[in-house]
Every structure is written in C-alpha cells, then in structure tokens.
Amino acid sequence: MNYKAFHVSIVFLIIALMIMSSVAATCNIIVITDPSGEDPNGAAAGSMSFADNMFQSTFLMSKNNHFAVLSGGTGSSDTRLDSIVDAVASLENNASAASAASLASQYKGARLLVGGPSMGAAIGGSFNAYVITVDDSSNEIKVTPYTSGVATLQPGEKGAIIHLRNTAGNPLYGTADNVRKETAMNIGKMIRDGYPATTILSEAMGEVAKDSGEKYGGGGVNLVSGISTSDMFTPKDLNTSGYPMDEKYSKVCDDCGWAMGFPAAEAYDKCPVCGGELRTVYAYEALGSALTVSQNSVSVSVYGSDKPGLASTTTEIVEASVAKYGYDASAIAGSINRGINNGLLMGVDHVEPKDINVKQGSKAVGVYYTALPGDRSAPVWDLPIDGNILNILGSIQTAVGIILILLVVFRSRLLKSFQNR
C-alpha cells in the first residue's frame, strides 16, 4: 500500500472513531474461493450489525496489498482503534494473517478478522466463529467452531471465517448460535459448488440479516479487484443505524438500465424510460452486484460535471446499453439522451457519438458531458416552431393580459364615461 494513502486512511479512521460512540460489528465474514488471486471475485469480506455507527472503519481494505481488516468486539473505540492500527501496520510489514489477528488479544474486548486471497484469514480477540474449509480434490467441507485463541484459514486453502453474535436490544436476540452454524454450512456448500466469493458473501450477509437480526450496514469489499461498497449501506449520521441488508434497496430495469432507490422506487411499477418490467433488488443483492466483476462489466468515466448522482446513473445506463447493443457510441449516446429526456440525468446537455469515447479492448467508456449554464436542469426543448416566433407570441400574450387587467381596474370609470355620453 502506498504509505501516503495508508497514512490518510488511518488519520480518517482515528477521527471517525474518536467522534462516534462505541460501535462493534457483530457479524464479520471473509470468504476465499481462489487463493491464487487470479479470479477477480475470488476473495471478499464484509461487516454488519444491529448496532449503530457501522461506518467503513469496520471493513478496512488495502487495494494494493489485497487484504482486509474487519473490526469489532465489546471494547471501547480506543481499544479497537489501537488494535486496527497495529494490525494494519503488521500486515504492511509482511506479517501473517494469524500474527496480525493475534494482536486483538492485547486489547480488552477487541476483535480482529484479517485476511486476503494469498495470505489466508485469521480471527483473534473476542469472538464466536466458524472456520470453513473445502478440500479441492475431495470437495469435503469442514465447519469447525472456535471461541478463543486464534482461528486460522491457512494460506492456499479455499474457505471462509464467519463471526456472529447478537447485539443487546436485537428483537432476534438468542438466534446467533444457530444462524452462525447454518450460515457457515451454506457458505461451505457454495464454495464447493463453485460460486465466487463476492456472491457467497452477499448471500451469507442476506441470510444473517434475515435470520439473526444483525442486519445494518456496514458493507463489503472485493479483495482481489479492490472494490468497496463504500457508503452505500453505512449510516448517514453519527449514532444512527445503516441500511437494513434484508430490505428492498432499488428497482432496476434490465432492458435499459434505469434504476431508482427506495423509497422513491415505490412510485414505479413499470420502467419510465422504456416501459419494461422492473426487478426489485434487496440490499444484500445490491452489495453482491457492486462487488462482483463480470465479463459484461464496463469501466465508465464521466467528465464535464460533478453533479451528485450523475456518474452512478450514467454508469447504469451505459452498462445496460453495452449489454444490449455492444460498444456502439451511437447507441450509448442514444441511451444517455433518453435518460436526459426522461429526467434521470439532470444538469447536462444532450450528447453526441463524438462525446462517447469507447475502448472495447479494455471494456472502458468515457462520457464527456457539457454542463448546463446556471441552475438549468434540462436542455432546451427541440420544438418544430422557431424560438423567435414563440417569443413574439409570448409578447402578444403579455400585452393582451395587461390590457385585460387595465379594463378590470378601470371598468367603473369606463362605464360612467360611457353612460354620460
């Protein structure tokens, strides 16, 4: 990891943990399905809880060195902070996952789950976990419980580690032991059956959220491709809960790429762009989609405007267009312009094919927008009547209106003048 980037991340983490109340992820998961690191979706990790303040400090990731540090426990924010900083520093110095995780035992109540595709994974400190291993040759699944010491998934092994406890106040308190075991077994079956780690993480988090109530994001990371859900599911304010991972997150049109998040999505039964059917996406499914790199994945870059939501909506529209029409600049421009006309994209002018930079070989598309002046949200309408004619008609209408107002104001005087004649 670049030292400067590492330093900035740790400073941000220190600030975040100093200003928030005590927070502990009560579900931590790492899944490794391809220890070689060749599969772009071969290792993933995530955290969530019934507790408040599930910010990104609970699922830190090194994009360059492909490891994650998931934190939690019953200790204070200070002890968790110290344990996380020590663990990251040790991993930067090429310590093993087991060695980094063992540092949690030095801090009262802290827990660390660390790992990556090549280093394996380990959990230490205060935990209730299962280690899942899947033998490559026999497909034998082993699910082993651990509650103390350091539990390890060895480097080179396919498997996972899941920690789960119930938070006080959770209506489903007392379910963690059974849900932990059932989810661990299901993780093992999915690894055996060849599912990628990102999909397994998504399904496991959905199962835990539904059955144990430890459901608020949090989020997840793809440890091979360096993708994070970032603030998709984290709380919007301090001392509040994140997005429930077992609830509806958005509606998506698979035909044109239109998407809308809840609760606004409740107003739509059909796609407003193409009239197609809408598919409801739950939060844990959205997490899986955000982390998974597919053959149809497109890297979309947006230029010319930094309006909120423009880049993400453009990405969805471009991905749908590429899936349907291929890397065709004209088709992509047409899809984007339909989005502008339907109000999905605001504050930018229509685009032309020359504004779309397509690099099919690297699966990349650049979209060059022209921002609209002032506070305009939509381009000028393309009407069949010349704009000057409309201006003249508007002036005539204004003049007629003024005359009518004068007639109303002075009607009594005009009537008297007419009667005197």
CA–CA gap between residue 283 and residue 202 (Å, rounded): 9
pLDDT of residue 405: 72
Contact (CB, 8 A) for 153 and 115:
yes
DSSP calls for 183-212: HHHHHHHHHHTT--HHHHHHHHHHHHHHHH
Per-residue pLDDT tens for 51-75?
Answer: 887 766 677 888 888 999 998 877 6
* DSSP class of 306: -
DSSP calls for 79-135: HHHHHHHHHHHHHHTT--HHHHHHGGGGSTTEEEEEEETTTEEEEEES--EEEEEE-
CA 64 to the chain's CA centroid? 20
pLDDT of residue 8: 40
CA–CA gap between residue 154 and residue 32 (Å, rounded): 11
pLDDT of residue 13: 44
Q: Is 99 exposed, middle or buried (0-12, 13-18, 19+ CB in 10 A)?
A: middle
396 Cβ contact partners less than 8 Å away, ≥ 6 residues apart: none
CA–CA gap between residue 377 and residue 379 (Å, rounded): 7
Low-confidence residues of the chain: pLDDT under 70 = 1-24, 55-57, 75-77, 296, 362, 381-391, 393, 406-421
pLDDT of residue 132: 98
pLDDT of residue 383: 57
pLDDT of residue 408: 67
CA–CA gap between residue 52 and residue 26 (Å, rounded): 11
Share of the chain above pLDDT 70, in %: 85
pLDDT of residue 420: 61
CA–CA gap between residue 150 and residue 180 (Å, rounded): 18
Angle, vertex CA 316, rays to CA 313 and CA 364, nearest 5: 110
pLDDT of residue 16: 41
Dihedral sign for Cα atoms in the order 102, 104, 107, 111: negative
pLDDT of residue 398: 75
pLDDT of residue 193: 97
pLDDT of residue 188: 98
The candidate with the shortest Cα–Cα distance to 35, out of 92, 94, 97, is 97
